[in-house]
Structure 1
């Protein structure tokens, strides 16, 4: 994902928010040298003289046992030098090619272009000088996990072992995380059991924390309890990150009593103390459901615990206040951030833009976006997703189009969230033809639709009574799921078009 940093003047445009101004040939085949043989008549040896002997007699210049050489072979000395130079040139060209491919691979990984990254990596493995590296496999497995390609990650893991690299707990955990990101909990547990059977790849606290997260997200707290028991049997103590994950799950499930029990245990612990992330978890739980009083209460409690808020803490407060249209409190928080010399970040502005977008407040959303650009903040994909959603909610569909054009001009990455926002805007505008064009462009750009994509389109078709469209879309969804499962078969190639 690439973005362009845009510099603007420091002047602040009119805004409803009171602000302070404190802040890339192989060498062509050469023709074999032609040696000419000339025949001379043999006459009696000339009289010996210093000049003739030095010119006509090839004097030997080597000692016994050494390699022969003569004094009249200037051309024969030049040939091996040329050959050495050719070999060095070829070697340098090969080395440069290797570096170019490695850079191309890193670039694809950085831009999250998993299919192109696999194509380059597959080409790399075919070279005779290829040496497998653990770090390369780790980056690709993580990328595939984040791109919703866990089966390809598993296949790559198998090929890594075939290449002679031994698995490690970190690589196994990365593979397990790939399945967790796709909410394939059964497959993730299977990998955990595989790790436990490997003497040098035993799971650690990071492995268990990674597996706990999809369990709490799915509200499968019985599995969480089983994992805690297993950790205790292995003498693995939950850390603050693990507990924060569980706290967040309890909060989303509305299990506030369980949240407080976990927090009490953390306060009594000497190795698992609550931190600012614990604080953010508590206030975001109540802020997201609009319980402002409880949010403020827990904010004060954590401050009394000696935990100092940070930028994300205030971002949570700002988002909650804007959703309730409590702009005066939002302004107070922003001023307090200035007083603490905490910079407003892209995330700060995104939270504000998103909050305005959710209620269709296009006016304040625009003011906030203009303020963001004035201060030189870099807009990202989330920024434009919020803008598109906000204009769609306000019924300003011509501004949806201008936002999409601006995103293209700024080279904002078009991921699944971006396409879903555009699809949703098309659906709200009842423009089904444009919605279908966006859907086809999405697939052409190797961006695989998810459940949200299909839900948006099916609902739009259902609204118009287009049952035939719904049928074909559901068939396409089923075909995509089947194709994804086929990838896990061992006889398939990694790269499939």
Structure 2
């Protein structure tokens, strides 16, 4: 049985207006529909010709079998060139180890497995063909930063310098980003001062943008002004990305007047014009707060400014409508994407799965997940976080276990959000022993708990009257170093846009 996808979740025409405006007039009686149908490939398989094996030219007698009978002739046969295959095998065997190690490193980095990546990197350094490369260190530093391992990133950077590699502004910027992701702002500023003392490692607009973002997230707006002054001294002009970061920070802090001032400044500027990322920032701010009317109003304003939406823009709208359980409007946006040939991405499906997960609607959640896999979309950590929470909300704890097992088979990265979802499910099931086991596994994986982890566990133990456990967790929580958990949804400000790798 093969799932065949409908054009959208909803079978109705959307007016040519924008999705936000069109969604407003969508009949409320429409329901979200996910269809599946069976199809057989037997006839196609039977009609396709049988594939024949072709040898390489000069390796074996170059005869090609055909479905049409041919006259046998001595002239059609050639004597094979001796030892060609042996030489090729010898050459491939000589390169096999190098290919295996380097490919394993790339695979570990791609799958965000930082421990395995460091282990393979140690093996790679022990080979005779190894030569330090800036690109390898850059990828590892970014991976360690995103995995919440600033200490490992600093050790790797020191090791790189000891090996004689000259640090660059890009490598320093990646190291600063790793510190900022774990809220180690003072350490990041220490590296900034080191950059200033090195002629070939001067900070640029990307370096300052990362530091500004860290200060914004920490609510240190006074440091933001200091960084702006340092940029002015060095004749570094803030770009649109920098302004979008500050715009987002003011919005999240509820400083809407300052946010509108920055936006007005961008509209009047000739070098920092608002772009689609500015649009995404503004509508996501209002969407996350559930202010749907303001979100739609600003969407229309940006369209009038001549800014065209992208897939991320529509995903933000879908996520906002899904959180408010406005399934009609959510479906309208998805249909609008299909009509304009915008692809549905993993984030698109994640937003829909999350909407049904929060409502405990397991039937539609599973249908969406099946349709996602049928379309070839790769599930990520957020997908399984939503599935686990959805099953927990519906009281289907046996399916929580199967989801965790499936995530393991698919090699889904286990980050703080993933463990929090499992602890949430255990708390719903009032299974304190399983909470203990998951919490231990979380620490064994060197995945640091955050405030949400401790809050869920404290509430679970408090309900059972286990005051000693509550006290121990509260003490541990106070000693916790704040960690910025990577966003589970598509962020309107991406670090990939700040660091050029």
TM-score range, shorter chain: 0.7 to 0.9
1:195 to 1:479, Cα distance in 2 relative to 1, 3 A? same
TM norm structure 1: 0.75
User: Is 1:140 aligned to 2:140, yes or no?
Assistant: yes
Match of 2:32 among 3, 6, 17: 17
TM-superposed deviation, 1:447: 3.8
1:131 to 1:345, Cα distance in 2 relative to 1, 3 A? closer
| Contact persistence 1:154–1:175 (CA under 8 A) | yes
Q: Structure 1 stretches of 5 or more lacking a match? A: 1-5, 22-88, 482-497
Q: Structure 2 stretches of 5 or more lacking a match? A: 11-30, 37-89, 482-501
Alignment match, 1:164: 164
| Contact persistence 2:416–2:447 (CA under 8 A) | yes
Alignment match, 1:306: 306
TM-superposed deviation, 1:201: 0.6
User: Is 1:258 aligned to 2:250, yes or no?
Assistant: no
Measure, in 1, the Cα distance between the counterparts of 2:104 and 2:265.
49
Moved more, 385-394 or 99-108: 99-108
Measure, in 1, the Cα distance between the counterparts of 2:395 and 2:279.
37
| Contact persistence 1:105–1:121 (CA under 8 A) | yes
TM-superposed deviation, 1:128: 5.5
| Contact persistence 2:321–2:329 (CA under 8 A) | yes
| Contact persistence 1:461–1:467 (CA under 8 A) | yes
2:407 counterpart SS class: helix
Q: Once superposed, what is the RMSD of the aligned Cα atoms? A: 3.0
Alignment match, 1:281: 281
Measure, in 1, the Cα distance between the counterparts of 2:175 and 2:478.
25
Question: How is 1:415-494 mapped onto 2 (pairs within 5 angstroms)?
Answer: 415-470=415-470, 473=473
Alignment match, 1:238: 238
Q: Deviations over 1:164-213 (max 9, x none)?
A: 11110000000000001101111111111111111111000000111111
TM-superposed deviation, 1:408: 3.7
Measure, in 1, the Cα distance between the counterparts of 2:419 and 2:479.
20
Question: How is 1:114-153 mapped onto 2 (pairs within 5 angstroms)?
Answer: 114-127=114-127, 130-153=130-153
Alignment match, 2:3: 8
TM-superposed deviation, 1:389: 1.2
Q: Deviations over 1:443-481 (max 9, x none)?
A: 444544444333332332233222333455567779997
| Contact persistence 2:101–2:123 (CA under 8 A) | no
Tell me the matched-pair count.
410
TM-superposed deviation, 1:384: 1.3
Alignment match, 1:295: 295
| Contact persistence 2:8–2:338 (CA under 8 A) | no
Alignment match, 1:357: 357
| Contact persistence 2:458–2:470 (CA under 8 A) | yes
TM-superposed deviation, 1:374: 4.4
TM-superposed deviation, 1:409: 4.5
1:201 counterpart SS class: coil
Alignment match, 1:337: 337
TM norm structure 2: 0.74
Measure, in 2, the Cα distance between the counterparts of 1:406 and 1:113.
17
Alignment match, 2:202: 202
Moved more, 434-443 or 175-184: 434-443
1:446 to 1:206, Cα distance in 2 relative to 1, 3 A? same
TM-superposed deviation, 1:332: 2.0
1:322 to 1:128, Cα distance in 2 relative to 1, 3 A? closer
TM-superposed deviation, 1:383: 1.0
1:92 to 1:276, Cα distance in 2 relative to 1, 3 A? closer
Alignment match, 2:17: none
1:387 to 1:233, Cα distance in 2 relative to 1, 3 A? same
1:264 counterpart SS class: helix
Alignment match, 2:321: 321
Alignment match, 2:113: 113
TM-superposed deviation, 1:125: 3.3
1:159 counterpart SS class: helix
1:209 counterpart SS class: helix
1:400 counterpart SS class: helix
1:249 to 1:150, Cα distance in 2 relative to 1, 3 A? same
| Contact persistence 2:8–2:335 (CA under 8 A) | no
TM-superposed deviation, 1:387: 1.4
1:479 to 1:337, Cα distance in 2 relative to 1, 3 A? closer
Measure, in 1, the Cα distance between the counterparts of 2:34 and 2:468.
54
TM-superposed deviation, 1:279: 0.5
| Contact persistence 1:240–1:273 (CA under 8 A) | yes
Measure, in 2, the Cα distance between the counterparts of 1:13 and 1:273.
34
Alignment match, 1:215: 215
